[in-house]
Structure 1
Amino acid sequence: MKLSSERNPIIEIQIEGRAQKGFFLGMQPYLTKEDYRSEDAFYLALKAYFDYAKREEVIASGRTVIVFPENIGYWLVASGESDTVFSQSTFSNAIKEIKFEHLGRFILVYLFEKNYSEDRTKESVFRMKAWQMAEIYQNVFSKLAQEFRVEIVAGSIVLPEPKVVEGKITMTDGPLQNVSFYFHSNGTIDPEVTRKKIPSEEEKDLVFGANHTKNPIIKTPLGRLYTLLSSDLGRSDEIKTAIEKEVELFAKPAFASRPTRAGKSKISQIPYVIRVFLNGNFWEIKTYGTAEIQYREKQINVKRIKENGSGMIYALGI
């Protein structure tokens, strides 16, 4: 079954197993810069996938955990900006245009807030927009979690060493980190934060690794969940921790700015694994990756996306 219209993207689905306890889903949406123009645009772009999953009966109220890709919140840096920002030919030019359109605020951040990265201009823009980015990210995923009564590993977003204070994502004056948050089915955000420890080559000029922290194990309706962001999967100590803690669900939000296939990375003793990539077109940057799923410790051949611009849902019945 496929859906195709301006507001209903082409979506395909792969279902493995039959649900007794519930569903473990990987949502691999196809998004463009236009989906980040506003909070409403971002919400509607993602809601299409929830609506589709509900029609396909792979959402069980209170018994579903959904994984989104890495960097799904990264492009919110442009949210609320002018048509001029969105009409730029490159993301770098879009960042520069945001700087010029908020020059007063930008100068204050650039001169008086701590900077850690090689690209001070880009970092200052992200720091300047951080509170707005976090608010949209939290509002949208909280609303979707509550509306569909599901738990969500909300992919990741780049923010200044954030933490959760009184139920709200809050910024510090620390370096920019690539972080993921977990939303419960009542819409609340979990206080524990998953932080990327090894930045990729592409993000080293902006993002700092959080080597001093331990990533949380979250208790879900389907069992214990562990999340690692892309390049951290190379850390054997992280995999060992997950196995020792008898993790049952392993979420692997991923990102690649060139066509990528997930390698064979079977993790023994962890029954259910989902790795999903952000597929999309953001200014000149095109992102794509083929998902990876493991069902009852068995590597499953994933259904390949057939059309450019298609989204994919992977559903594991548990």
Structure 2
Amino acid sequence: MARLLFSLLSLVLVVALGTYALWTQDRPAGHYLSDLRIQVALDDGVRADRGNLLGIQPELFATDYQSLPRLHRKLAAYLSQARNLGMLSAKTVVVLPEHIGTLLWALGEKDELYQAPHLAEANQWLGYSNPLLFARAWLQAQGDDRTQDTRLRMKASSMARDYQQVFGGLAKEFGITLVAGSIILPDPQLRDGTLVTGNGGLYNISVVFGADGKPMGQPQRQLYPDFVQRRYVQASPDPQLQVLDTPAGRLGVLIGSDSWYPANYAQLDAKGCELIAVPAALNGKDVWREPWRGNPDRADAAQLGIQPGEVSEGEAWQRLAHASRAPVSKARASVSVFLRGQFWDQFSDGQSFANHDGQTHPTDDGRGARLINLWL
């Protein structure tokens, strides 16, 4: 009797494990109607043959990351509309926002993950659907926020591949130079032109893709992660900023809060930088109008000249941008592009703006995707 009971229990366990294994492999893609429209928020300067710096502020949602074709469709629709407006050419540098690649951790998951009301619940579904990846990433996790580290590390290899495929593909498809926002990856590097990951700490990086779809230079690592991300994202051990030659001019990339620090503008200026791309993101609903949080626990925070809470987030970002850095920064133009949208119960806020010939050009705070264009 005992042997029979043991056999029955073993059979039930095998069936249960088999059913669970089949469930983890099932990835149905539900129907999703996405808003592909985009409005011109800024069109400054005189159209000439010197090219343009074009920021694309998308409006994205978790379901936009259900598949790579779906994400490509939305971003390609924005670029197609910019092309129809005459804003794309071989001398166009397009800038996308910070963390547009980081959200690739949600790619190709089960419907339950996208339908979850809260990010914490979505994280649970991610672990349920990828138990082996989760276990390995948990063991390798570093930093103070182990949960965030694990979520970003567990699919890092596929995230790097998908990031290069979608953004390198868009650059080649539209014949442009593309600053592909940013993505958080463990120990990222280019190997024979391919973005790969390692087992080290997490870094927030941006890759620039040329019109041939290939990466230009090396991944630019963020130098000054903000006080929230520093719990799991490491600052670049190399303080050097690269400047890349593009058809529109020499280009530098400052990720997020890197755009606040005068030393970074001085370094870009010393390397002959003419154009500055700032992929940015702010977490929180209507945080643009709230008191500026700054980086209060950094030893070099005093050099910014603004105390946390002294001005709003929006005022701080615009005051610390390159137009306010004269005579340190001699760049002709810069554009700061923020990620907008809702990801479960988390909102991404910020109001994109541009700097051109020493003047700051804000944009409206309306909903929907925006084009921010500067003719050079």
Return the TM-score normalized by structure 2.
0.78
Change (3 A) 1:95 1:242: same
Q: How does 1:217-228 map to 2 (within 5 A)?
A: 217-228=243-254
CA distance in 2 between counterparts of 1:256 and 1:137 reads: 21
Structure 1 residue 312: deviation in Å?
0.6
Amino acid at match of 2:121: N
Q: How does 1:159-170 map to 2 (within 5 A)?
A: 159-170=185-196
The answer as to whether partners of 2:168 and 2:214 remain within 8 angstroms in 1 is yes
Structure 1 residue 37: deviation in Å?
0.7
Structure 1 residue 292: deviation in Å?
2.0
Q: Match for residue 63 of structure 2?
A: 34
The answer as to whether partners of 1:193 and 1:216 remain within 8 angstroms in 2 is no
Q: Match for residue 91 of structure 1?
A: 119
The two structures, once aligned, show a CA RMSD in angstroms of 1.6
Structure 1 residue 6: deviation in Å?
4.1
Q: How does 1:206-245 map to 2 (within 5 A)?
A: 206-245=232-271
CA radius of gyration, larger in: 2
- For residues 110-169 of structure 1, give each alpha carbon's deviation from its aligned partner in whole angstroms, at most 9, with x where no partner exists: 23x3x3212223322321111111111111111111111000010000100200111111
Is 1:149 the counterpart of 2:175 in the alignment?
A: yes
Amino acid at match of 1:317: W
| Identical residues among aligned pairs (%) | 29
Q: Match for residue 68 of structure 1?
A: 96
Equivalent residue of 1:201, what SS?
Answer: coil
Equivalent residue of 1:190, what SS?
Answer: strand
Equivalent position to 2:371, from 300, 310, 313: 313
Equivalent residue of 2:342, what SS?
Answer: strand
Structure 1 residue 245: deviation in Å?
1.8
Q: Match for residue 45 of structure 1?
A: 74
The answer as to whether partners of 1:53 and 1:59 remain within 8 angstroms in 2 is yes
Equivalent position to 2:333, from 272, 275, 283: 272
CA distance in 2 between counterparts of 1:231 and 1:65 reads: 21
Equivalent position to 1:249, from 275, 295, 308: 275
Q: Match for residue 23 of structure 1?
A: 52
Return the structure number with greater relative CO, CA threshold 8 A, min gap 6: 1
CA distance in 1 between counterparts of 2:114 and 2:34 reads: 19
Q: Match for residue 364 of structure 2?
A: 304
Q: Match for residue 318 of structure 2?
A: 263
CA distance in 2 between counterparts of 1:213 and 1:105 reads: 33
Q: How does 1:83-232 map to 2 (within 5 A)?
A: 83-111=111-139, 113=140, 115-232=141-258
CA distance in 2 between counterparts of 1:246 and 1:202 reads: 32
CA distance in 2 between counterparts of 1:295 and 1:191 reads: 25
Is 1:290 the counterpart of 2:351 in the alignment?
A: yes
The answer as to whether partners of 1:11 and 1:49 remain within 8 angstroms in 2 is no
Amino acid at match of 1:16: D
The answer as to whether partners of 2:318 and 2:360 remain within 8 angstroms in 1 is no
The answer as to whether partners of 1:47 and 1:144 remain within 8 angstroms in 2 is yes
- For residues 15-44 of structure 1, give each alpha carbon's deviation from its aligned partner in whole angstroms, at most 9, with x where no partner exists: 111232111111111111111111111111
Q: Match for residue 9 of structure 1?
A: 37
CA distance in 2 between counterparts of 1:290 and 1:121 reads: 29
Amino acid at match of 2:318: G
CA distance in 2 between counterparts of 1:103 and 1:91 reads: 18
CA distance in 1 between counterparts of 2:116 and 2:34 reads: 23
Structure 1 residue 233: deviation in Å?
2.1
Equivalent residue of 2:283, what SS?
Answer: coil
Return the TM-score normalized by structure 1.
0.92
Structure 1 residue 7: deviation in Å?
4.6
CA distance in 1 between counterparts of 2:185 and 2:253 reads: 18
Is 1:59 the counterpart of 2:106 in the alignment?
A: no
The answer as to whether partners of 1:165 and 1:191 remain within 8 angstroms in 2 is no
Structure 1 residue 10: deviation in Å?
4.2
The answer as to whether partners of 2:136 and 2:154 remain within 8 angstroms in 1 is no
User: Which range moved further: 9-18 or 275-284?
Assistant: 9-18
CA distance in 2 between counterparts of 1:292 and 1:285 reads: 23
Equivalences, count: 308
The answer as to whether partners of 2:353 and 2:363 remain within 8 angstroms in 1 is no
CA distance in 2 between counterparts of 1:183 and 1:10 reads: 23
- For residues 241-285 of structure 1, give each alpha carbon's deviation from its aligned partner in whole angstroms, at most 9, with x where no partner exists: 112222110111111013322322323322101101001111111
Amino acid at match of 2:162: I
Structure 1 residue 63: deviation in Å?
0.9
CA distance in 2 between counterparts of 1:305 and 1:235 reads: 25
CA distance in 2 between counterparts of 1:116 and 1:6 reads: 36
